[in-house]
Amino acid sequence: MNAEPVSLGGLDDAWRSLLAAAQEARGRAYTPYSRFAVGAAVRGGSGRIYTGANIENASSGLTVCAERVAVWKAIFESEQTLDALALITETGATPCGACRQVLSEFAADLPILVADTQGRVWMTSLAALLPDAFPRVSYAETDQ
């Protein structure tokens, strides 16, 4: 994992709140197939927190990741940017490639806190996880 371990006790209140929200969201995951529950919480530019959990489907390609659920909620509620992401899984997994790209649409670089269910915590960033993201472009400003 491209992340640095950090002390759970050393987190500031903003990170603790975000992680607590992700942990609560994880309890709402729908994972009848993999049993791999993921909870995510993003903080929008307004300071509001939006949560998500993974939702599986028998047709696995239709499964939606926790990170994207949280991002869609934030954008639907008129957030334009994201300031931070906290993610919790049993193993401390980082966002998948699709989620990394979606996150990059709303944050050029994003601090990401990853936690496992044993209380271990790591800090990374979107730039570290996705160094060559497809850039956000305005098609209205480009020649077609």
Query: In the annotation, is 67 catalytic?
Result: yes
**CA gap 137, 77 in Å, rounded:** 22
Greater confidence (5 vs 51) lies with: 51
Kindly report the number of other CB atoms within 10 A of residue 7's CB atom. 8
In contact, 137 and 143? CB cutoff 8 Å: no
- Residue 111: which pLDDT band, with cuts at 50, 70 and 90? very high
Q: Is 61 exposed, middle or buried (0-12, 13-18, 19+ CB in 10 A)?
A: exposed
Residues 55 and 30 sit within 8 Å (Cβ to Cβ):
yes
Given the residues 4, 24, 67, 77, the one annotated as active site: 67
What is the three-class DSSP state of 44?
strand
Sequence-separated (6 or more) residues with CB below 8 Å from residue 118: none
User: Looking at residue 44, what is its pLDDT?
Assistant: 98
Q: Which positions ≥6 away from 58 have C-beta within 8 Å?
A: 33
pLDDT given at position 14: 98
Could you tell me the pLDDT band of residue 138, with boundaries at 50, 70 and 90? low
pLDDT tens digits for 31-80? 999 999 999 999 999 999 999 999 999 999 999 999 999 999 999 999 99
Closest Cα to residue 119, out of 25, 3, 7?
Answer: 7
Q: How confident is the model at residue 85 (pLDDT cuts 50, 70, 90)?
A: very high
The full set of domains in the chain, from first to last, is 4-130 (3.40.140.10)
In whole angstroms, how large is the CA radius of gyration of the chain? 15
Work out the mean pLDDT of the chain and round it to a whole number. Answer: 94
Taking only the tens place, the pLDDT of each residue in 96-108 is: 999 999 999 999 8
